[in-house]
Structures are given as structure tokens and as C-alpha cells.
Amino acid sequence: MRPSKELHLTPDAQRPLMNRATFRFYAELNDFLPPERRGKSFVLPFTGHPSVKDRIEAAGVPHPEVDLLLVNGVSADFSTLLHDGDRVSAYPRFRRIDVAAITRVRPPPLEEPRFVLDIHLGQLAEYLRLLGFDARYRNDFHDETLARISHDEARILLTKDRGLLKRGPVVHAYYVRNSDPKRQVVEVLRRFALFDSLAPFRRCLHCNGALERVEKEAVLDRLEPKTRLYYDAFSRCPECDRLYWKGSHHERMQRFVEWVLAQGERETDF
């Protein structure tokens, strides 16, 4: 009986078959791409049949930023499996174009806009609270905690960390582009169409608690002599017991609110 011959594979034969798909990202999704890939089509290699979501995030674009996907010109979702030669187009949220008849991959907006913010956005959290929005923030929240809070409490995760947006539990999220906190406020309000939802001076700037009116007599012993003399209307935070009144700082905050509203009136979208 002849001994069996060993089968020797060449290095090329040992490599898995490499497929390729062409990707094109539109508008602000290009913020996540290296300069050489922005505003143009480019090819990504892959093996097997990964999901569109997998390859989009491999390119650097977090899935919560994508609102519409087309694969070979047909509306698709994140779970669509890629094949060799596919062409993928990814779009952010449309503001003025009606795409209701197309399958959108982003979930419907939350009925109540509530936020949780990462460690880099403390001042933004305070501004959102000033404008009346429920904004959870602590400077010691870890990434896994932020992702869990966003998922379990149905909160929009605001972050400067692109990797955080790619975590599986995260559904509603947004990568904040601006570095200036005042501009960040306008950016977030514009992104989620919230200029008509402002309710200023109703939340504690320190802990996010909903403020309650309190009679002056009930807090008289906590007031400085001049505050006692010149002010009569007070609010108290039931969470941290801080007091609020329309002191000299109130005029400055009111000017900020008016400035924010003015930015909303100038809003221009594609």
C-alpha cells in the first residue's frame, strides 16, 4: 500500500478569501473619517460576511450617528450582511428632506429628551440644566456606567469619546463636535430640535434636581440680611437642599438664555 502524499498549501492558498465593499459617508459623518476618506468613496476589505454595522464602525463612524443606510441603492439596516462588490452609502439625520418611506436605522426620538454626559462635558451639563433639561452628570462615571445609564434610563448619551459611542448597549447618543461649552449647547439643541422645549430656571445646576417653590418664611433663617431684605421669591432643590432666587447672577443667566434662543432663530440646516 502506497503511503499517502501530504498536501502542501502555498501561502496564498492558506489566506482567507478577501472581499471588498465600497463605502461613502455623507455630511457630518465625515467628521469621523481621516482626511483622505472624507467626501469620497473608498474601498474596505473584509473576510466572510460581516454586518454593515461592523464595517461602518471599523471605518471609524459610531453607529448612533447613522440614520439611513443604502446597500446597492436599497434601504438596509445594521444587521445586513455584506457581500463582495457591495456599495454602501451612510447618511446622518435628515432635517428637511422627507425620508419617511425609507427604513431608517436610528431609533425614533425619545418622547422626553433626557441626557447623560461624559466626564468632558461638565459645563455643558450645567447649561442644559439651566435651560430646563434633565441632564445626569458626574465626573467619576466610568464608560460602562455611562452606557448602562443611557440604555436603562433611555437617556441620550452626549460624549467627546468616539469609542464610547460604539458600545453595544448605546442606542441614543451623539458625539459633540464643538469644544466651547456655549457652542456645544447650541449644537445639541439644533441636533435634537429642542429650541422650542426650553424651560429655564427649573432645575438645580448642581445636582439636576427639579426645583420647587418655597415660601420665604420657611427659609428665612438661611438667608443673608440683604437677601432677606431685597428678595421674596425662592426655589429649593429637594435633592441637595440648595436655594435659588433672582439675585445679581440671574440677569447674567437670563442673557445667556436669550442668546441661545437667538441662535435657534438663525438655524440653517440641509
pLDDT given for residue 43 in this prediction? 97
Query: Residue 70 has which C-alpha cell?
Result: 443604502
Say if CB 28 and CB 93 are below 8 A apart: no
**Number of domains comprising the chain:** 2
For 223-256, the pLDDT digits (tens) are 999 999 999 999 999 999 999 999 988 999 999 9
* Shared domain check, 128 and 86: no
Based on the domain organization, do 118 and 87 belong to the same domain?
Answer: no
Residue 125, domain member (yes or no): yes
- In-domain check, residue 233: no
The answer to whether residues 120 and 194 belong to one domain is yes
Q: Within a domain: residue 48? A: yes
Q: Which residues contact 92 (CB under 8 A, 6 or more apart)?
A: 26, 27, 28, 29, 65, 66, 67
Is 43 among the domain residues?
Answer: yes
CB contact set of 60 (below 8 Å; sequence gap of 6+): 32, 33, 34, 162
For the segment 108-122, what is each residue's pLDDT rounded down to a tens digit? 778 889 999 999 999
Domain co-membership, 120 together with 87: no
Residue 32 lies in a domain: yes
Q: Is residue 121 part of a domain?
A: yes
Q: What is the pLDDT of residue 8?
A: 52
Same domain flag for 119 and 194: yes
Is there a contact between 56 and 65 (Cβ–Cβ < 8 Å)?
A: no
Task: Tell whether 135 and 192 lie within a shared domain.
Answer: yes
Of 91, 106, 127, the residue that ends a domain is 91
What pLDDT, on the 0 to 100 scale, is given for residue 168?
84
Residues 71 and 118 both lie in one domain: no
Mean pLDDT across 37-41: 97
Instruction: Report pLDDT for 268.
Output: 47
Last residue of a domain, one of 198, 217, 233: 198
Any bridge partners for residue 55, and if so which? none
Q: Tell me the residue range of the domain where 44 lies.
A: 19-91
Q: What is the CATH number of the domain that holds 54?
A: 3.10.20.30
The reply to whether 67 and 118 lie within a common domain is no
The answer to whether position 185 is within a domain reads yes
Rounded to 5°, angle at Cα 34 from 30 and 37: 65
Is 208 contained in some domain? Answer: no
Number of Cβ within 10 Å of residue 264's Cβ equals: 15
Same domain, 131 and 192: yes
How crowded is residue 112: how many other Cβ atoms within 10 Å of its Cβ?
10
User: pLDDT for 130-183, tens place per residue?
Assistant: 999 999 999 999 999 999 999 999 999 999 999 999 998 899 999 999 999 999
Does position 14 have pLDDT exceeding 90, yes or no? Answer: no
Q: Which three cell numbers stand for residue 171?
A: 442606542
Q: What is the CATH number of the domain that holds 173?
A: 3.40.50
Query: pTM for this one?
Result: 0.82
71 and 125 housed in the same domain: no
Task: Note whether 144 and 68 are same-domain residues.
Answer: no
Share of the chain above pLDDT 70, in %: 89
Residues 67 and 120 in one domain: no
Q: What's the average model confidence in pLDDT over 89-106? A: 69
